[in-house]
Amino acid sequence: MADREDVGALQSLLISRSLTDLELLEASNSAPDYAILPDASVVKIGGQSLIDRGRAAVYPIVEELVEAKREHPLMIGTGAGTRARHLYALAAELGLPTGVLTDIGSAVAGQNAAILGHLMARHGVPVVGGTGFGAIALYLDQCGAAIFGGMPPYDMWQHLPAEGVIPPYRTDAGCWLVAEVYGCRSMIFVKDEDGLHTANPKTDPDATIIESITVDELIAMDLPDLIIERPLLELMRHARHATTVQVVNGLKPGLLTRALAGEHVGTIISAA
């Protein structure tokens, strides 16, 4: 915990200085970090990688999630997938801005959350969104899990990409930010590959798996393609809670369960 002197200094800077003041920003580092839901885990279920594959991929992962929630409180975020790609391509062609793409992409992640929600309804798992996060503790306590659409709620206020109009912060970032703000014990990305590779293994046969890596190393490698959103790496550098994430293959039964138990079964990316 920060000592009282630090806290006093911070309070006085907060009242007297501009929020752009570097001394104030440094001083806010002295504040302690309280984890809101330290026992919960965030699991992101990929859109294109899992849900778009339908029953063959989704039923087994639902079974695994239902079993896992007995032991681990789960916040299950969903990706968007192929319909979002169609929307992005169409909207870009129409000259629409990133904010509009964010909004319509978000709806697709929401559909996928609704789909998972219907499949998990008999196990008492609700779908939450927006203000529903206010009751997340109750859902986790009573139902063991809750599902949310993974897109962050940036809508028309999304950051602008350097090139083109595709929203830079999408469902990987959205799910990770949930893990970070709630101080969750783990963040697991469930995709359709064994982990992060040196190139996209779907298009490059020479791609090899990277079992563990730091974000700085990964940024330095400047890979042409990635299994998680690039801007998430930059966010992870400043993580206070969600300092590691694991990418696992959801098409291989059991890996998600083992990752939740703390085993290294895919690629672990760590902040430092």
Partner 1 sequence: MTDPDSLFASKDVPSALMRQTLLDRDRVRPQTPQPVSRLLPWLNVVTIGGRSIMDRGRDAILPLVDELRDALTDHKMLIATGAGIRARHVFGVALDLGLPTGVLASLASTEAEQNGHMIAALLAEQGVSYLPHTSVGHQLAGHLAASPAAVSNGFPPYELFEFPPEVGKIPPHRTDTGAFLIADAYGAAQTIYVKDVDGVYTQDPATAAEGEAELLPRVGAGELLDMNLATLPIDRLVLELMRNAKHVKEIQVVNGLVRGNVTKALAGEHVGTLIQAQ
Residues 187-206 that bind partner 1 (CB under 8 A): 192, 200, 202
126-145: contacts with partner 1 (CB under 8 A): 133
Q: Which is nearer to partner 1, 184 or 188 (CB)?
A: 184
Measure the CA–CA gap between 41 and 68, rounded to whole angstroms: 11
Task: Check binding of 233 to partner 1 (CB under 8 A).
Answer: no
Binding residue for partner 1, selected from 25, 121, 209, 272, defined by CB under 8 A: 25
Task: Check binding of 213 to partner 1 (CB under 8 A).
Answer: no
Between helix 171-181 and helix 230-237 the angle, nearest 10°, is 20
Distances (CA, A) of 91 to 88, 106, 152: 5, 14, 19
Stretch that binds partner 1, among 28-36, 37-45, 205-213, 259-267 (CB under 8 A): 28-36
Binding residue for partner 1, selected from 96, 114, 137, 213, defined by CB under 8 A: 96
**H-only helix segments in the chain:** 4-16, 22-27, 55-68, 82-93, 98-120, 136-143, 171-181, 215-221, 230-237, 255-260
Task: Check binding of 5 to partner 1 (CB under 8 A).
Answer: no
Binding residue for partner 1, selected from 41, 65, 72, 88, defined by CB under 8 A: 88
Task: Check binding of 53 to partner 1 (CB under 8 A).
Answer: yes
101-130: contacts with partner 1 (CB under 8 A): 103
Distances (CA, A) of 129 to 49, 134, 159, 188, 242: 22, 9, 21, 20, 21
Q: Minimal distance in Å, beta carbon 71 to partner 1?
A: 25
Q: For the chain, state the CA radius of gyration.
A: 19
